[in-house]
Copies of this chain bind each other. A is one copy, B any other.
Amino acid sequence: MDYCFGVDIGGTSIKMGFFSRREGLVKKWEIPTRKGSEPTLLLQDISEAIELCLLEKSMHKDEIAGIGLTAPGPVTDNGLLRGTVNIGWGDVFLGEEAERMIGIRPVFIGNDARVAAFGEFIFGAGKEVNSLLMLTLGTGVGGGVILNGQILAGKTGTAGEIGHMTINPFETLSCSCGKKGCLEQYASATGMVRVAKSFLDETDKPSSLRKLEKVTAKDLWDEAKNGDELALKITMYVSRLLGMAVANACYIVDPEMVVIGGGVSQAGQFLLEMIQKEYATNVFPHCRDKKFALAELRNDAGIYGAAAMVFQK
């Protein structure tokens, strides 16, 4: 069968994609995320959206090869989605629930960042390599490892969770996860803003950042590119921790490529090169020429990866 749906469940909206094996992404749209203590209503919304799409295309459910579904929580290698705090659910076998509610099977599920990495691996920046590590620098820091052509889920669904790698054992502030010194505390969009503030408070040095009412991660990288000395110093600090975390991860899985995605990665080649440089100073000489690339699929990586889970099986 030549068609499938790729569905990317986020905290505020659900991205829907209708894919053809030959033509790729045929149609994409979004619906709002209905929160609740169980996924029933949300799956009902997805089910209705899929039925409307099929009606529009004059197709039937039995012409669909399957559905790929992402969720903002850890998914174990046997398909258990662990409590997704953002949306309000406890532990659930979301794939099985979805098969029953939607009436299309199989439904494959995966953690959103891991599935986005798979999207980049099959359709994006990583389509020429055999393995990759992807970091998603957004509100949080997500990650995913692709080995042997597959998402590495791990025993408890946390493989690839680089955002919660301890990178500063002496940190006194807590991360949203409860522990201290996670990469996310410095390298997420909010983390970068926090770091920027503490640098700005520590010194009287002039900086174009001081003229802004509210500094965002985008401002920080823009001003660093414009040559603002303090902004550059802050981005170097953040890049150092990112490069170190990537080096640490590469010392565990040693992939062919590292892909940087998420909203912050729009800072582009400038950011990529700073991370790559810091990576290289933290690994053995013969590991220094690893491929680094920016993600290519942007916000669509999730639906592409979800579709790839169906088409690659």
B254-A166 in contact (CB<8A) = no
A254-B284 in contact (CB<8A) = no
B254-A157 in contact (CB<8A) = yes
The residues of B that contact A164 with a CB separation of less than 8 Å are 251, 283-284
- Residue total for A at the interface (Cβ-Cβ under 8 A): 47
A281 contacts the other chain (CB 8 A): yes
Tell me whether A282 and B166 are in contact in the complex, defined as CB-CB below 8 angstroms, given that A145-B252, A159-B253, A253-B159 are known contacts.
yes
A22 contacts the other chain (CB 8 A): no
Interface residues of A in 119-162 (CB under 8 A from B): 131, 145, 147-148, 152-162
The residues of B that contact A131 with a CB separation of less than 8 Å are 155
The residues of B that contact A157 with a CB separation of less than 8 Å are 254
A210 contacts the other chain (CB 8 A): no
Tell me whether A244 and B145 are in contact in the complex, defined as CB-CB below 8 angstroms, given that A155-B254, A251-B158, A252-B252 are known contacts.
no
CA distance A281 to B175 in the complex (A): 13
A256 contacts the other chain (CB 8 A): yes
Tell me whether A253 and B251 are in contact in the complex, defined as CB-CB below 8 angstroms, given that A158-B283, A284-B164 are known contacts.
no
Q: Tell me which of B83, B152, B255 contacts A155 (CB under 8 A).
A: B255
A167 contacts the other chain (CB 8 A): yes
A256-B155 in contact (CB<8A) = yes
Q: What is the total number of copies of this protein in its complex?
A: 2
A200 contacts the other chain (CB 8 A): no
A248-B165 in contact (CB<8A) = yes
CA distance A74 to B254 in the complex (A): 11
A92 contacts the other chain (CB 8 A): no
CA distance A163 to B160 in the complex (A): 19
Tell me whether A253 and B284 are in contact in the complex, defined as CB-CB below 8 angstroms, given that A148-B148, A166-B247 are known contacts.
no
Provide 27 A-B residue pairs closer than 8 Å at the C-beta atoms, listed in order of the A residue. Answer: A131-B155, A145-B253, A147-B147, A147-B152, A155-B256, A155-B290, A156-B290, A158-B250, A158-B254, A158-B283, A158-B284, A159-B252, A159-B254, A160-B251, A160-B252, A161-B252, A161-B284, A162-B251, A164-B284, A165-B248, A166-B244, A169-B241, A170-B170, A248-B248, A252-B252, A252-B253, A253-B253
CB-CB nearest 5 A-B residue pairs: A154-B254, A159-B254, A161-B251, A252-B252, A165-B248
Given A158-B254, A160-B252, A248-B252, 13 additional A-B pairs, CB 8 A: A74-B284, A74-B286, A147-B152, A152-B253, A155-B255, A158-B251, A158-B284, A159-B251, A162-B251, A162-B252, A164-B284, A166-B248, A249-B252
Interface residues in chain A, defined as those with a beta carbon under 8 Å from any beta carbon in chain B: 74, 82-83, 131, 145, 147-148, 152-162, 164-170, 177, 179, 240-241, 244, 247-256, 281-284, 286-287, 290
